[in-house]
Amino acid sequence: MRLIYLILADLVVTVHFAYVSFVIVGLALTIVGAAMRWNWIRNFWFRVLHLLMIAVVVAEAWCGVTCPLTIWENKLRRLAGQTTYTGGFVANLLHDAMFFDADPWVFTLGYTLFGVAVIAALVFFPPRPPKYKAKPF
């Protein structure tokens, strides 16, 4: 049973890493894409999703809420009998890339500045409004 919890914990940290990667890479691609005149970076739904994802992170930081994915992963690791992050190689790599020790205000400031950068990208490189097709009766 512990193996199942370990596998689930590794899956959660992988999803968490994907979430963080989407937010970071999404902003980088938006800026580079604007400079390179890539049309797809102005996709309305991509940009709204990107903004909502960083808004969740900033709101959690300002409210002092621990990310639910972190809580879930830690609970699964405890159920797997782990007290530290001693999962598989990929899970350790992903975890170490995302988490490091610093005062909470450092993370809140970083998340907030990143959120401001996403909003600035929306202002300077606005998305195209979605296209609605009229449906015939």
pTM over 0.75: yes
Q: What is the pLDDT of residue 56?
A: 96
Which has more pLDDT, 42 or 133?
A: 42
Residue 97 pLDDT > 90, yes or no? no
Question: Contact at 8 Å (CB) between 12 and 69?
Answer: yes
Across all residues in the chain, what is the average pLDDT?
87
Q: What is the pLDDT of residue 54?
A: 96
Q: What is the pLDDT of residue 83?
A: 67
Whole-number Å distance between alpha carbons of 50 and 52: 6
pLDDT per position as a tens digit, 121-136: 999 999 998 887 767 7
Q: Which two tokens stand for residue 61?
A: 């930081």
Whole-number Å distance between alpha carbons of 113 and 70: 22
Locate the domains of the chain by residue range: 2-124
